[in-house]
Each structure stands twice: as C-alpha cells, then as structure tokens.
Structure 1
Amino acid sequence: MANGNNGPVNGHRQRKNKPPRYSAFSLFRHGLSHSDWPRVWRTHPLKQSYDVVIIGGGIHGLATAYYLATNHGIRDVAVLDKGYLGGGGSGRNTAILRSNYLTPEGVRFYDRSLQLYQHLAADLNFNVMFSQRGHLTLAHNDSSLRTMRWRAEVNKLQGVDSEVIDPTEIKKLVPFLDTSENVRYPILGALYHPPGGIIRHDAVVWGYARAADANGVHLHQNTEVTGIDTRGGRVTGVQTSRGRISTRVVVNCTAGWSTLISDMAGVDMPVTTSPLQAAVTEPVRPFLDTVVVSGTLHVYVSQTDRGELVFGASVDPFTSYSMRGSLEFAEGLAGHVLELMPAISKMRLLRQWAGLCDMTPDYSPIMGPTPVEGFYVDVGWGTYGFKAGPVSGEAMAACIAHQRPPKIIDAFGLDRFTSGQLVGEKGAAAVGH
C-alpha cells in the first residue's frame, strides 16, 4: 500500500513528529494560566481523498491510526467521528483492564493489550494513569469455583499470572468484603489476577489522539458517515455530512452502530446491541485496592484515584440504542453491592450512565477483512472493548499494511460464523470485567 505523504510502506519507520515535551517550569507556568496552552490535536480541512479512512474516533479507531503511522509509515489517514473523540463507548466504560480470559486465543490477545498498556504512557508521552492493582473474580458456588480453576490453568499455560485463592486470602486483599458463611451468597474463593487494574479512559483517548495527530493523521470530529461507496466488490469512497472522500481502505471501528456502518458496505454482521449501565458514588478515602467482580451477582466495582466507587453490571436484558440510566438498575446494583460490602451502605450514589455494547454469538470480537475488498472491521466488542484498544489498533494496522490478518487475530475473523470455529468467551466476558 502506498502512503500519500511518505512513499511506499517498507516496515517500521522512525516517526518524524513527536508530541511536545515540557520542562518542569513550563508545566508550572501552564498550570497558572490556560491562555497559552497548546491544542492537544489540530483541526484540518477535510481532504477529498485519503489512503485510509477510519470510522469511529474512540480508542480503537485512534489506536489503529496511531499504529498505522508509527509502525508502518502510513500517515495519510483520516479518523471520522460523528460527535467528539472518545464520546462513545471509550468515554462510557468503567476502564478496567485484565487478561484472565477463558480461551487460549482470548488470553493471548488481551495479555498483549495489557503489555502495551504497561508502557503506553512512555510511548505516547502522556500520563494515562494506569493503576495495576489486581483483579478478583469471586466464586459463590461450586460451579463458579470450577470455572475459576479452569480459567486459572488456561491463563498459566499462556504465561499469565492468575490463581485461585481462598476466602482468608480474599479478606486480606479486600477487608471490607463480607467473607462470612452466614450470608446469602457466601464467597468460596476467587480468581486472583495481579496484573489487572484500572486506567483513565479519557487520558488514553487523548494520548492516542495527540500522538496520532503529531504523526500526520487527520482527526475529524462532528463528521458523520452517511454512506460507503463500493464498485466491483471493493471500496471506493465514503459519503459524510461534510462531503465525499475517495479512499480504497475503510475501517469500521464503531461501537453501538457497527451494524449500521457495515450495512452501508453491504456486509452483514451477527451482532446485537444492548445498553450497559454503570454508576459512581461520592468520593471517600481509598479503601478498595483491587477490582472486585461477582458474576453471580452481576456486579463489578473499583475505586478511582479520586476516591469514587465505580460500579457496573451485565448488559440490559433487551436490545436498544438507549443510553439513559434506569431506577431499576440503580436499585438492583445497590442491593448486590451491599451483599458484598454491607459497610458502605451510607455512601451516596452521584450519577449513572449507559453505553452501547455490540454482542456477538460467541462473545468474541470480529476483526479483519470482509468480503468487500478494502472494507475492514474491528467490531463486536461487547462489554470488554476498552481493554483491547492497544492490541486491536496494533493488529488492525498490521492487517491493513500487509493486507492479511496477523496471527493474533486469526481466530476473530468474520468467516468463523460460517465455518463454526467459534471462540466461546461467555464464561469470562459476560460480566467478568
């Protein structure tokens, strides 16, 4: 593939532009006055053609653009978002990171993402506030405990730090958990995953956006895609609310509307969309050092660096594009959290919200080329897309540059739904944030 600005692609290149660095004095001066703060990314006129057009300005779209530029020298790239960057699923998730999945394919994939997250702040020269504090998935019955042991063994075979621990060890990690036996949902054990943690989702989005912009990528907000042009079974362009763009490569990196975008190219997706709600409390002194998940109670909770407790549950039991919270969710969530930690009953819930989750039949994503030449997809992320942002961008960039899927995403192709080679991740992805 040719790069419109820098000639043909010939492997990794040293990027020409880097995000600006500041001295300690300049940072102090910027903190006193906002008047001379530089823009995080620039605004460009919409060109009539690009080598690559990426639809979706969340973490997946921005990471794909960044790695296209830095790893493969493809800089004539446009990222289009109908709203603002990070305004979709990337700004509505609970920002929990882990790699303790159930299938070997899933474990390898998410572990690579966790490795990229570990040095992402240095790579982007932007503090993404990654807190690697550990991740606990609780087991309340014998069946759940067997699944945790199964996951632990799969994780260990893939070199991922993960083990099943007993209630005594759980109590040491999270003293506020009720690990007594005289409760409705006794805690029999947990899958403990030390590398897991939380991150600031907006910082990740801004870091990727700034670094992509510094490498020549054009970021276009408030630019809605209204159609995808094809001729002879291949992509020729994109219709937008600001005019037409000629291109030979289009990447669908949307969440919630992924089926609508794919339909524009004539590609059917086995995806359903459901809301996922979350909520946050008032800030209190830090007391929860790990991420806690209960699949039985359909709840997960973590504490931010500012002291708020962030809660989530499973997706709503219906398909919808609604992003409003509900009283039913808040009541059910509060009851389930108090089953685990009765001592926090006096904390006040400040707000709740919802995001859209694209669910596939096997709870694994759909990545790679499609029957329409030049049309690529990175969709179907369910409740776990933010964890996969870096590795998805890296893999999709390689897929586009080399015109074939890299091994790490071979199992996630669209054709698996016709061949029957599914990647069943429900046991680790349904509520296992």
Structure 2
Amino acid sequence: MTRPADSTDVAIIGAGNIGIAVAYYLVVNHGVKRIVLLDSGDPMALTSAQSGENYRNWWPHPFMTAFTDYAINLLEDIARASGNRIHMTRRGYALATRRSTPEDLLADLHRGYGVRATSLIRTHESSGAGRYRPATSSDWKAAPDGVDVLLDRALIQEHFPGLAPDIGAILHVRRAGNISAQQLGQFMLESIRAAGGQVRRARVTAIDRDAAFTLTVREKDGTASLRADRVVNAAGPFFTEVAAMLGETLPVSCIYQQKIAFEDRARAIPRTLPFTIDLDGQMLLWTDEERALLSSEAEGSILLETMPGGIHQRPEAGDEGSWITLGWAYNATASDPASEPPIDPNFPDVVLRGASRLNPALQTYLGRLPRGARHYGGYYAMTPENWPLIGPMHTPGAFMAGALSGFGIMSATATGALCAAWIAGAAQPDYAPAFTLGRYNDQALMAELKENATKSIL
C-alpha cells in the first residue's frame, strides 16, 4: 500500500556526513528549513562510519588546495562554536620518501600552494639552527601553517626516530590532522533538526519528475511518496544508482579499500607521530612457498608485483590512546557496493609487511596481531581523475555532492557549503565550476587532472 505524498523544499538522498553537511549549510547559510534527509540506514552508518577521519590542506592542484583550505576553515568554525566537540587535532601529515632530492614532490608543493608557496614552504637541509619545530602538541590552534621539507637524514632521525634510516626526505604538511567524523555529523544534525529538518529511514526506489520531484520511498511500514522541489544526490557509494533514477549516467566507480586497527601493545608507533604516509612503491618480501601460493590465486598474484606507494599509519584516540590504524589503498578493481564487501583475508598481513618497511618496529606484529584487532573497509566512490562532483546535475532542480574518494571527511564541510550555495543560487568561489560536470568540457583542465590523478589518493 502506498501512502499519500507529503512534501518538502529539498530532499537529500544519503544521510552520511556529506548529505548532512549539505542540509546543515542550507539551514545556517541560506535559511532553508524544509529539508528531509533520506537514508535506508542510520545516519553516518555506512561509508562515514569507516572514515579515516584525517584532513589536510595540500594537494598537487591549487583548486583542491583552496577547496580543502575552505573546508578546514569551516571545521575550525565548528570546533570553536562547539568547544571542540569534534576533537580536532593537528599534528600534520608526514609524507616520507627514500629519495634525497624529490624534485617532483617539491614542484607539486609549489604548484599546490600557488602564489603563497614562497611564504608557506620551509626547507631544512641540516640538523643545526633549530629552525624545524616538530609537532609537540596536538592543539590545532597552536600548529603552524604551511609545510616543512626535511632533506637531512640526521634531522629526520632526530624528530622521527621510529622511521627507517633510509628515509631521505619528509614533507611535513602542518595544516593537517584528524577529527571525529561522528561528532561532526551529530553537531550538524542537531542544528538541522532544531530548524525543523527531518531525517527519515527510507530507501529511495524511484524518482519521477514533472513540475517537481516525486520520490517513491520504502519504509519499514510500507511504501510512501515524497514531493520535493529540489533533490540532492549525496548517496555515497550509491551515487550512480540515484543518478540512474534521474536518467543520468555519472563517470563514477566504487573501489573497496581496507584498513586494520589494533592495540599497539609494543608501542611501535609513537603517540606523537603525525599521520604518516610512505610515498614510495615497493616489492613485498615473500618466501618461495608464499610466492607459489599467491601466484595460484587470482587476487593474490597482484601482491607479487610492485605495489604502489600510499601506505599510511596513525596513532588512534590521541596522545593517551593505545591503538593504531594502518591502511593501504592499493586495490584498483571496481565492485558493486550492493554486494558483499570484498574483504581480502590477506590484507592484514600485506599492510603490516608494507608498513614495516617504513616503521621497522611493526614487524613484531607479523603473524600475531593482538586480540581484538579490526579489519574493515569502505567504498571509495571516484571519478577517473579523482576529483569530486558538486553542484547541478543535468536534470533541472537536481544537485549532487559525491565522488569524494578518500577525502570525504576532510572536505565534507566545503562540499556541503558549495552544494548548498548552488541550490540557493548564491555566489560561489572561482574554483567551484571545476567540481561540476562542466569540467569535462574543459580540455586543458582534464589534461592536467589526468596527469595528476593518482596523486590525489593519499
């Protein structure tokens, strides 16, 4: 039985951090209060629940740097307004390589920061003079901006003694750290509900368009209809499915990436370590027996090849915590988010082997992860160039906020604010059109993005 339709100004499909952020900025920036958030599960229960909860303001392209700088400004506003309920910290990102003169990385730094690069990039080529200030505090208000480039092995070992001695350079991005994704979402939800916005547990199964939109939704007690003047596709891994209901095709695929988290009983990772990424590719070391076994498996054979860079490690739960997280987004095979997650049983061993190259003390956990270790993952919804899609869809009155592969939580606030501005017809920053479908008509920009696509997955 289908119940009669009710109505709203804006229906947002997806109640993860992105959909919530769109609703939040519609309320606080534009006074739109008749909003319904629709999700088949609880708010923030799918991709948002698997977030790495990291943020940074440097990217190899100035548009993405400006975008995430804006996102961090908004996060800081929320941290101040809430008494730092979102647990914002700032120890930075430490990007490590064994190359002593990584000219391409330095060029990317300058390109990403643009005209500000000269004032923001500080190079340290010796251990003397004490110019480099390590992250002695996790207080986001006390951290410097910019990036410190460490090009001296003695200096690196002085301040990062747990890292392998062959690390030749570290790019310490300072306006970077982590937050609580759940607390961020809850803070925004409270403002949405206080303004009269609703969250409904319902799965959208069809969208019809006439003078307005009619959404068919399946709830626990039957099927209902919802009329909406405008619709927002913020469906995360189901981004393309919702687009198809509008008769549209988006250049987005879903790739499942995994992490492990466990109690660091051996204290292999210092609690003060920034979020640290090994930029270098590597060949994993296997015994002859292990190589034979892996070569016999379709999914295992990739582990015998040169693996990409990007393996990362981070202490969890602040200075007083005891857990660590390791991740490595090396999977490149798209999969259907409606199917069972393609959990790879080899992943914990693989990521430990890879991370041990950067931090040798992690070898103590090979083959003996502590009891209670978590092996989990989430879908990266991504365009081929790995830039987001934010703004109007082809269908009049329909908008989108998604394809935020690997950088959803760090850009949630800016994504919400930009999408809300598009909906309200408000002014946008100069870079906003580059995040719409219109960028595919800009051949020069697309050539740039094709060249730099893999650099966005850190």
Report the TM-score range of the alignment, normalised by the length of the smaller protein: 0.7 to 0.9
Tell me the distance in 1 between the aligned counterparts of 2:381 and 2:46. 12
Q: State the partner residue of 2:114.
A: 157
1:197 paired with 2:177, answer yes
Give 1:134 shift: 1.1
Would you say how many aligned residue pairs link Structure 1 and Structure 2? 377
Tell me the distance in 1 between the aligned counterparts of 2:88 and 2:253. 31
> For residues 254 and 404 of structure 1, do their structure 2 counterparts lie closer, same or farther at Cα, with a shift above 3 Å needed?
farther
Choose the corresponding residue for 1:341, options 337, 356, 359: 359
Q: Deviations over 1:150-177 (max 9, x none)?
A: 2221244354612422233333332211
Tell me the distance in 1 between the aligned counterparts of 2:43 and 2:12. 12
Range with bigger deviation, 389-398 or 346-355? 346-355
- TM-score of the pair, normalised by structure 1: 0.81
Q: State the partner residue of 1:68.
A: 26
1:293 paired with 2:296, answer no
Q: State the partner residue of 1:328.
A: 346
Letter in 1 for 2:110: E
1:429 paired with 2:429, answer no
Q: State the partner residue of 1:35.
A: none
> Is contact 1:174–1:290 with CA below 8 Å preserved after alignment?
no
For residues 338-417 of structure 1, the aligned pairs below 5 Å read 338-347=356-365, 348=369, 350-402=373-425, 406-417=429-440
Q: State the partner residue of 1:265.
A: 246
Give 1:258 shift: 0.4
> Is contact 1:134–1:194 with CA below 8 Å preserved after alignment?
yes
Q: State the partner residue of 2:236.
A: 255
Q: State the partner residue of 1:207.
A: 187
Q: Deviations over 1:220-267 (max 9, x none)?
A: 2x3111111113xx7522111131110121011121110001010111
Give 1:393 shift: 0.8
1:236 paired with 2:213, answer yes
Q: Deviations over 1:345-375 (max 9, x none)?
A: 3343501111011121111011110110011
> Is contact 1:399–1:406 with CA below 8 Å preserved after alignment?
no
Letter in 2 for 1:237: T
Give 1:429 shift: 1.2
SS of alignment partner, residue 118 of structure 1: helix
Give 1:219 shift: 1.4
Q: State the partner residue of 1:148.
A: 105
> Is contact 1:102–1:427 with CA below 8 Å preserved after alignment?
no
Choose the corresponding residue for 1:99, options 48, 57, 68: 57
Q: State the partner residue of 2:86.
A: 128
Tell me the distance in 1 between the aligned counterparts of 2:112 and 2:427. 28
Q: State the partner residue of 2:315.
A: 303
Tell me the distance in 1 between the aligned counterparts of 2:177 and 2:203. 34
> Is contact 2:353–2:363 with CA below 8 Å preserved after alignment?
no
> Is contact 1:277–1:325 with CA below 8 Å preserved after alignment?
yes
Q: State the partner residue of 1:34.
A: none
CA RMSD of aligned residues (A): 2.3
SS of alignment partner, residue 150 of structure 1: helix
> Is contact 2:147–2:171 with CA below 8 Å preserved after alignment?
yes
> Is contact 1:152–1:164 with CA below 8 Å preserved after alignment?
no
Give 1:99 shift: 1.2
1:139 paired with 2:97, answer yes
1:316 paired with 2:331, answer yes
Letter in 2 for 1:387: M
> For residues 353 and 158 of structure 1, do their structure 2 counterparts lie closer, same or farther at Cα, with a shift above 3 Å needed?
farther
> For residues 252 and 172 of structure 1, do their structure 2 counterparts lie closer, same or farther at Cα, with a shift above 3 Å needed?
farther
> Is contact 1:90–1:205 with CA below 8 Å preserved after alignment?
no
Give 1:308 shift: 1.0
> For residues 142 and 371 of structure 1, do their structure 2 counterparts lie closer, same or farther at Cα, with a shift above 3 Å needed?
farther
> Is contact 1:126–1:207 with CA below 8 Å preserved after alignment?
no
Q: State the partner residue of 1:280.
A: 261
> For residues 315 and 383 of structure 1, do their structure 2 counterparts lie closer, same or farther at Cα, with a shift above 3 Å needed?
farther
Tell me the distance in 1 between the aligned counterparts of 2:96 and 2:170. 4
Work out the percentage of aligned pairs sharing the same amino acid. 21
Range with bigger deviation, 50-59 or 403-412? 403-412
Give 1:203 shift: 1.4
> For residues 175 and 395 of structure 1, do their structure 2 counterparts lie closer, same or farther at Cα, with a shift above 3 Å needed?
same
> For residues 118 and 404 of structure 1, do their structure 2 counterparts lie closer, same or farther at Cα, with a shift above 3 Å needed?
closer
> Is contact 2:62–2:113 with CA below 8 Å preserved after alignment?
no
> For residues 417 and 235 of structure 1, do their structure 2 counterparts lie closer, same or farther at Cα, with a shift above 3 Å needed?
farther
Q: Deviations over 1:171-208 (max 9, x none)?
A: 3332211123xxxxxx2212210111111221112122
> Is contact 2:252–2:382 with CA below 8 Å preserved after alignment?
yes
> Is contact 1:223–1:240 with CA below 8 Å preserved after alignment?
yes
> For residues 325 and 171 of structure 1, do their structure 2 counterparts lie closer, same or farther at Cα, with a shift above 3 Å needed?
farther
> For residues 266 and 403 of structure 1, do their structure 2 counterparts lie closer, same or farther at Cα, with a shift above 3 Å needed?
farther
Q: Deviations over 1:281-320 (max 9, x none)?
A: 1155653421101232431111112221111111522111
Tell me the distance in 2 between the aligned counterparts of 1:74 and 1:399. 13
Letter in 1 for 2:279: G
SS of alignment partner, residue 79 of structure 1: strand
